[in-house]
Amino acid sequence: MENALPLKGLRIVDFTHVASGPVATKLLADFGAEVIKIESRKRPDLIRGVGPFRFNRPGLNSGGMYNSWNTSKLSLTLELSNPKGLALVRKLISLSDVVIDNFSARVMKKWRLAYEDLVQIKPDIIALNLPSHGIIGPHKDYVSFGAELMGLSGITYITGFPEGLPTGPDVNYPDYIICYLSAFAILAALRYRKKTGKGQHIELSQFETTTSVIGSFIMDFILNQRLPVRRGNSSPVAAPHGIYRCRGEDRWCAITVSSEAQWKALCSAMGKPEMAQVPRFRTFLARLKNATSLDSIIEQWTMERSAEEVMEALQKKGIPAGVVQNGQDLLQDLHLKERGHYVELSHPEEGRMLYQNPTIILSRTPGRVRRAPLLGEYSDYILKEILGLTDKEREDLKKEGIYN
């Protein structure tokens, strides 16, 4: 199985933390890349200290997000404030293919690990910088998280209800754009190196990447001087379109009607076929204009049924509908179970834990998931087997606090 992994033999030195970078390298690690995550005991990945924690037991190895976003990697702890620690990481880079970080522009320069330094260590290295605002420009030293990027890029402005304040999604949405583009960029650079023998520098500004996904709103302002409005659960191209309360506590079903055939089918499913011809609902524009009263009628019907009953009844009629699932629903989802989306792995501190298998399924070279590493778990292995340090050399480094 391991020999069939498509990225086997690729070594990545990973300085990233939180989500945007770690998820990118996780995607590559799950397909066989040897990803060596560089941390220090003084400054571990920030996400290690963030929940959810199993049984509410906080710990650097137990955080749910850390374990989800760092599967299949190796963890090396080095103190990079010490010249000996930096010397070790430079040696590791000389034996690697890719270096990735998501610090602000100044950090890698401080360590003399900017691209111009890396090519002196390994001429064909591929280096990916993921700074918040890029490595040039007046804001190059700014740092941010997904919440700030959503605000800066305009996503927060367009998220929420018309009568309410900008809210933004609960999930740090930019991270999940950036990670896939980062993995793609690395693979593209590797292909280029295979053809030419040359590495290259990749710069991916998180701010610009996030801004790029709302291009239609920017174009609307350029062409029409029109600002977008917050629409809540409504849509300008479908009516009815929303999230409807169902029977039970906090149970909902999402419903979208985007054609006249679907509209008539919805009325039939609700036992109100005559409603399809009511003047205020007969046409799409009429339904859009009277969406509030229409939503109220639909919700009277959905509240008498479970979300699953609503979904199944409408799907049978060819109407897009789906339960608004919570965490428990997802773990019990029969479709995900049948596809083997979840895999149970043993964790040395937390016992058996569920992980998500790779969502990209390659027929001949399928990926696999291994549990995320404990902090510094592979330090001895990397220093001995990859860097060739003797037992005494490693013991001396440990005494100096350079690794542990």
The answer to whether 143 and 104 are in contact (CB under 8 A) is yes
Which residues, at least 6 apart from 345, have a Cβ–Cβ distance to it below 8 Å?
352, 353, 354, 355, 369, 370, 371
In angstroms, rounded to a whole number, what is the distance separating the alpha carbons of residues 89 and 85? 6
CB contact at 8 A, 159 and 232: no
Residue 55 DSSP label: G
- 3-state DSSP call for residue 53? strand
Contacts of 20 (CB under 8 A, 6+ apart): 102, 130, 146, 174, 175, 178, 179, 182, 206
Q: How far is CA 224 from CA 212, 216, 230, in A?
A: 19, 12, 17
Phi, psi of 142 (to 5 degrees): -70, 150
Q: What tokens does 232 get?
A: 């809540």
Q: Which residues, 6 or more positions from 41, have their beta carbon under 8 angstroms from its beta carbon?
A: 77, 79, 375, 376, 404
Name residues whose C-beta falls within 8 Å of residue 372's C-beta, 6 or more positions apart in sequence. Answer: 66, 67, 68, 69, 70, 71, 73
Number of Cβ within 10 Å of residue 133's Cβ equals 21
Cα separation, 228 vs 219, whole angstroms: 11
Max intra-chain CA distance, the chain = 86
Any idea which residues carry the catalytic annotation? 175
8 A C-beta contact, residue 348 and residue 338 = no
β partners of residue 343: 355
- Please, are residues 45 and 39 in contact by the beta-carbon 8 Å criterion? yes
Q: Taking CA 191 as the corner, what is the angle to CA 188 and CA 22, rounded to the nearest 5 degrees? A: 45
